[in-house]
Amino acid sequence: MNLVTILIPFLLFSAQFVSLAVIDSTLPAIATTDPPDPEALDLAIHITADGYTVSADKPLPLDERTVARTQASMTPSAFDGDRLSEILGRIKDAWPDEDTVILEPTPDIPYEVLIYTMDVASGRSGDRELFPSVAIAGGST
C-alpha cells in the first residue's frame, strides 16, 4: 500500500511533461462514387532514395521535374527542399486554386524526411503557402 501511495503522485507529476504534436494529414480516398474532376491537377511528389520527382495528371510548367539528393545521408538536410519549394511555387502560380498534394514515399524513406517534405510542400518552411492539404499515399517500390 505504501508503494502505491508513493507511485501515484510520482506518475501524476511526470505526466504533465508529456507533450504530443499532431500533423494534419488526409488519406487519399480508395474509391469514390463521384466521377473524377477533369480540372483536378492530382499533384504528387514521389520521394525516393535519389530525391524528389514531381508529377501530375496535367502538363506542368517545368523544365525539370526531379530534385536530386544533395548528400549521401538519408537525413532531411540531404534533400533539397529549397529547389522543391521553387518548383511547387511555379506550379502554384499556374494553378492558384489547387491546394492538395499527395506524397508518395518509398518504404526506405525515414520519417523525418517525410515530415520535412510535408513542411516544404505545405509552405510551412517558407514564407508562402503552397499546398496546405497534404495527403500521404503508399509509395511505389
**What is the number of domains present in the chain?**
1
- 76 by Cβ neighbours in 10 Å (0-12 / 13-18 / 19+) ranks as middle
**Per-residue pLDDT in tens (0 to 9) along the chain, 141 residues:** 688 888 888 887 777 565 666 666 666 656 556 666 667 778 899 998 888 999 888 887 777 778 887 777 888 888 888 888 888 888 888 888 888 899 999 998 998 999 999 988 888 766 788 888 888 887 555
Asked whether residue 141 is domain-assigned, the answer is: no
Domain region containing 100: 39-136
Asked whether residue 96 is domain-assigned, the answer is: yes
Grid coordinates belonging to 104: 508518395
Q: Is 84 helix (H, G, I), strand (E, B) or coil?
A: helix
Asked whether residue 16 is domain-assigned, the answer is: no
pLDDT at 112: 92
pLDDT at 35: 63
pLDDT at 140: 54
Asked whether residue 100 is domain-assigned, the answer is: yes
